[in-house]
Amino acid sequence: MQGSRFAFGPFVLDPGAGTLLRNDDPVAVGYRGLKLLAALVARPGEILGKAELMDAAWPGTAVEEGNLTVQIAQLRKLLGPAADGGEWITTVPRVGYRFTGAIEQLDSVKRKPLPLPSKPSIAVLPFVNVSNDPEQESFADGLTEDLITDLSRNSGLFVIARNSAFAYKGKAMDVRAIAEELGVRYLLEGSARRAAGRVRINAQLVDAVSGDHLWAERFDRSLEDIFAVQDEVTGKIVEALLGRLRATPPRNRPKSLEAYELCVRARKLMDDSPQSAQEAHLMLTRAVSLDPGYAEPYRWLAMNHWMGWVHSGGPTEADRGVALELACKAVALDQSDAGCHWVLAYLLAYERRFADADAEFAKAIELDPNEADAWAALSDIAVLAGRVEEGLEHIRKAFRLNPFPASWYHLVLGQAQYAAGEYEAAVETLRSDETYRTSSRRFLAASLAQLDRLDEARAEAELFLVSNPNFSTRHWAATEPFRDTATLEHFVDGFRKAGLPE
């Protein structure tokens, strides 16, 4: 997404891309730290109060002041001393903090406009919370996410994924510029207010090419009717864009609004870091206790266990077993949820139950052809099965549906490019700013090794081993769901050339 970048000392901060570089190398700073740093460097020399900074890093959430202190301390440690030996961020006692370094605002790199798809294309922009209660932010976000899900299940539409839609949250931009960046023709905008058991929603559908408003409506209903309102809005949009309503299988709606909002908050935390995912785990567990028949929390709990984010130390065999049970439970509770199906498919592939995994992936795509995460996960599994060109096609489709994706998309793309022998392209992908949170260095090292850039390859391998000291090529090869011997040997060859441990 386009936006200002800021240079100070050896650093370049790009708040829109969520990256911090030191001498062109990515710095592993967390989500909250990036938000705080962006707020400070945007107003150098000014004193920013503690409340303002906490609102920047934890919008709509009540947090202890100690959290801010910890994040500032971590930022200072990452940035190190300024050129004059002082600190980049100084404390103003009992008031707040100030950024003292000299800032140079850089021109942004303009993204190449994406071509419009052949079918009606739409992005749902984050609904604005117009209540006076910041606690209702998750309600507005949940409404946005549900509308994205409901629309994307219609095969006649092209729908931008949640991650990319939320890149515009809180940003004032012209609708035509947003539509151009996302490569869509239509945008849905709206606002939501919840109070005293009632909900008021305003929504409007805009043709970003002509600037015309195709449809607009205001809903003032009982809070208990919120999911009926979502269905009505979805139906109106589909009818406006396709000329007729196409029915999709009904979704399993939650019976508890508290459980629903806990899931919305947990999803955002899981995007931040493994540490935040542990907090999300508590919320999801609470959601299950409030509404045992609601599939959504089981799906995300499954991913938490599978990634080893439930407790420190990484995933264990017990974690993987629990993850599979939870994913099966999610699908059993809601057969019409594409997200539940692709998560189960992914876990089944790692259990080497390939026929079952393929069937679950096919079901997920059938239910929601716009589910970008499903296409990305399917790409990973297809490449390891030796279907490399198919895998490249899947990950490119995922990027088109989700132009501002989570970092793991870049790992999947780089892995597919390596498997295809596109080593230069893999290096470019795996060295991009967006991969700095992933363990992609092993594939970067292998790609460099295949290009005979052995010094660079071994340097990347050493960096990978700093955060993965127990890695062995043999164990990795035994645990990844390979179905094709030639593909497996190709990866092992690259790892060995790069100097990764046997």
DSSP state of 333: H
Q: What is the largest CA-CA distance in the chain?
A: 67
| Alpha helices (H) along 183-256 | 226-242
Q: What is the pLDDT of residue 162?
A: 92
Residues contacting residue 69 through CB under 8 Å, at least 6 positions apart: none
Q: What is the pLDDT of residue 111?
A: 63
How many helices (H) and strands (E) the chain has is answered by 21, 14
Q: What is the pLDDT of residue 1?
A: 45
- Distances, alpha carbon 213 to alpha carbons 100, 162, 181, 429, in Å: 46, 23, 20, 39
DSSP state of 435: G
Say what the pTM is: 0.78
Q: Give the pair of three-digit tokens for residue 84.
A: 């004059």
Please answer whether residues 251 and 294 qualify as being in contact, where contact means their C-beta atoms are separated by less than 8 angstroms: no
Residues contacting residue 271 through CB under 8 Å, at least 6 positions apart: 31, 163, 406
Query: In the Cβ-directed half-sphere of 228, how many Cα atoms lie within 13 Å?
Result: 8
Burial (CB count within 10 angstroms: exposed 0-12, middle 13-18, buried 19+), residue 77 = exposed
Q: Give the pair of three-digit tokens for residue 11.
A: 């650093």
Please answer whether residues 335 and 293 qualify as being in contact, where contact means their C-beta atoms are separated by less than 8 angstroms: no
Q: What is the pLDDT of residue 482?
A: 96
Per-residue pLDDT of the chain (502 residues; tens, 9 = 90+): 445 788 998 998 888 666 788 887 777 777 788 889 999 998 888 899 988 898 888 776 667 788 889 889 989 988 988 877 888 999 998 889 999 888 888 765 556 778 899 999 999 999 998 887 777 888 889 999 999 999 999 999 999 999 999 888 877 778 888 999 999 999 999 999 988 888 899 999 999 988 889 899 999 999 888 888 888 888 889 888 888 656 677 778 899 999 999 999 888 887 655 567 778 889 999 999 999 999 999 999 999 888 876 655 556 777 889 999 999 999 999 999 999 999 999 999 999 999 999 999 999 999 999 999 999 999 999 999 999 999 999 999 999 999 988 888 999 999 999 999 999 999 989 887 566 556 788 999 999 999 999 998 998 898 888 878 889 999 999 999 999 999 999 999 999 999 999 9
Please answer whether residues 138 and 204 qualify as being in contact, where contact means their C-beta atoms are separated by less than 8 angstroms: no
Distance between CA atoms of 190 and 205, rounded to whole angstroms?
A: 9
Domains, the chain: 5-106 (1.10.10.10), 121-242 (3.40.50.10610), 252-368 (1.25.40.10), 370-502 (1.25.40.10)
Distance between CA atoms of 117 and 123, rounded to whole angstroms?
A: 13
Distance between CA atoms of 288 and 260, rounded to whole angstroms?
A: 10
Distance between CA atoms of 240 and 126, rounded to whole angstroms?
A: 20
Q: What is the pLDDT of residue 289?
A: 97
